[in-house]
């Protein structure tokens, strides 16, 4: 503000309490680097492909028990059907990310912190795989008795999946983990009432189908939101 008294010019500085955006024309969100990074990272999960992948994995479990209805042993049934579903799921995940996600949202390499987490995830999953095999062999050979079925499933499925959700920073995975925990509990509790294999078929089947359904919903929304870009302009 400029004032004139007795021919002298005096500058008076006033600072109005205005928001940063008004004073500097910078939206604070544009400088919130954590939020920018999170938004960019989480956009890679908008496609629902991880959800469908996990849903197919879960569906493999109840479907593997169907073999028992046709007189196959539950172990043989599991050995053939579960790996088949694992294979279908992993092929879908890899091809889906390569052929659907990247051409639409683009290619990105995240910073060192995310890369470190990715490495930790690989190490964790490898250890988990070994642990699962050890527990599977030891409990089937009855070398070790590890509490009840509920405890084993919590140790080998629910807790690790929570850690995977944390390492992946994939929030929907916490919900999937929660559903899985409930599913395991209900399968065991309702086994006397529904019988085997109806109990896992009904409970895990519904959970798997629900997860696949919302995955398909996210995928459809993703197709609409991000049309395929054939050529960079």
Partner 1 sequence: MADKKEKKKLFLPKFSKDDKFIHQSARLRLISLLYVIEEADYVFLKNQTGLTWGNLSSHMEKLEEKGYVDVKKEFKGKKPQTTAKLNDVGRKAFEEYRQKIKMMDKMVKEAGSTS
Please, what is the minimum distance in Å from the beta carbon of residue 93 to partner 1?
20
Please, what is the minimum distance in Å from the beta carbon of residue 171 to partner 1?
19
Give the integer Cα–Cα distance in Å for 109 and 79.
Answer: 37
Please, what is the minimum distance in Å from the beta carbon of residue 34 to partner 1?
8
Our CB check for partner 1 shows the closer of 115 and 220 to be: 115
Which is it for the CA torsion 12, 17, 20, 25, positive or negative?
A: negative
Our CB check for partner 1 shows the closer of 13 and 193 to be: 13
Our CB check for partner 1 shows the closer of 20 and 131 to be: 20
Determine contact, residues 64/46, Cβ cutoff 8 Å.
no
Give the integer Cα–Cα distance in Å for 147 and 139.
Answer: 10
Nearest-10 Cα torsion for 61, 66, 69, 71: -80
Our CB check for partner 1 shows the closer of 13 and 70 to be: 13
Burial class (CB in 10 A: 0-12, 13-18, 19+), 20: exposed
Residue ranges binding partner 1 (CB under 8 A)? 11, 13, 15-20, 23-26, 28, 30-31, 33, 36-37, 39-40, 43, 103-112, 115, 226, 229-233
Q: Is the peptide bond before 21 cis (omega within 30 degrees of 0)?
A: no
Give the integer Cα–Cα distance in Å for 15 and 150.
Answer: 64
Our CB check for partner 1 shows the closer of 192 and 232 to be: 232
């Amino acid at each position: 503000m400029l004032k004139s008294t007795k021919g002298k010019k005096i500058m008076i500085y006033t600072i109005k309490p205005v928001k940063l955006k008004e004073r500097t024309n910078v939206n604070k969100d544009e400088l919130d680097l954590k939020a920018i990074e999170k938004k960019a990272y989480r956009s890679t999960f908008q496609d629902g492909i991880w959800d469908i992948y996990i849903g197919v994995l879960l569906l493999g479990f109840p479907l593997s028990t169907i073999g028992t209805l046709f007189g196959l042993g539950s172990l043989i049934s599991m050995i053939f059907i579960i790996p088949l579903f694992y294979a279908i799921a992993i092929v879908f995940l890899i091809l889906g990310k390569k052929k659907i996600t990247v051409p639409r949202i683009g290619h990105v390499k995240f910073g060192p912190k995310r890369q470190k987490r990715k490495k930790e995830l690989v190490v964790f999953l490898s250890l988990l795989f070994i642990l699962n095999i050890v527990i599977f062999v030891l409990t089937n050979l009855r070398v070790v008795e590890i509490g009840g079925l509920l405890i084993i499933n919590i140790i080998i499925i629910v807790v690790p999946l929570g850690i995977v959700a944390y390492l992946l920073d994939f929030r929907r995975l916490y919900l999937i983990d929660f559903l899985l925990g409930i599913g395991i509990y209900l399968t065991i509790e309702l086994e006397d009432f529904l019988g085997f294999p109806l109990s896992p078929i009904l409970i895990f089947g519904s959970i798997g189908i629900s997860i696949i359904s919302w995955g398909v919903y996210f995928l459809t929304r993703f197709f609409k939101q991000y049309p395929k870009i054939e050529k960079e302009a």
